[in-house]
Structure 1
């Protein structure tokens, strides 16, 4: 929505059009500190809107590329105080995306108490410093080393 005009702009998914939104079911929307609009979808991965052209850039899971996002169902997005994008997925765990669009993955590793408790990230929230809250273990975890 344009706050000045009060008008909405629709960005439909158009199959076959690589510049459109990658999926019609949007699960998360976030404007980052650079005023870029990120859109997570249910089956189409992550999208970044070019607000000048109305075209989207897509990030999807690619089995052949270990730096791609871990899963195409994006539940939530978060930008930390260091302006890094965290991508929470529904089955692939948590991704930390660098400025080149490559992802570092954080997943559940059975037997490793320092890994994620599960690979479904439903929400993220920020605060001061470099901490993530693990509600299952009721503790905070430093992530400044990432």
Structure 2
């Protein structure tokens, strides 16, 4: 059973609590939209200084907008384009301190200044990405990257349950 918690520990302790909350929210659920909707809401509620949190899903050779929190967003992103497409193509997290310095950045929200994107890979096949934007340059550090990657791995585990 999910129970909301308050955050008041160190950054790492707060992230550990969020990981536990994700587990509790997703336990027993098999619907991918429900899992991703709650995951994006949880991160949006937890993270400060963010303006968009959500998922893009791999469909027919492009990324298509999935569950998210924030302003309306780009609906389709070509493979290998922008931060999201690059993360999926390279299968590596992209932590971008200043999106204006990222070649080919796709500006869905002109207020976004930094971004972190974690690819979702299930059964060695692309599934999509977890994308988080911030209006603050250099918003995401190594701790954020480490824990957002852990968060994405938990999401993958729940999405891979058949």
Q: What's the TM-score, normalizing by structure 2?
A: 0.26
Higher strand share: 1
